[in-house]
Amino acid sequence: SKLNCEVLEDKLAFEVRWAVAGDSIVVQLVGKL
């Protein structure tokens, strides 16, 4: 599967990662609190 990552706010180190696995899409929100 292909993993994509996009940094939304560099100062907050907030990222959205998404991957397509078959017919489903997995989305993760990653942030340093």
Q: What is the pLDDT along the chain (33 residues), one digit of tens a residue?
A: 566 666 666 666 677 788 888 899 888 877 766
Query: CA separation (Å) from 25 to 2, 11, 21, 31?
Result: 10, 27, 6, 20
Read off the pTM. Answer: 0.38
Torsion over CA of 12, 14, 7 and 1, rounded to 10 degrees?
Answer: 160
Q: Where are the domains of the chain?
A: 1-33
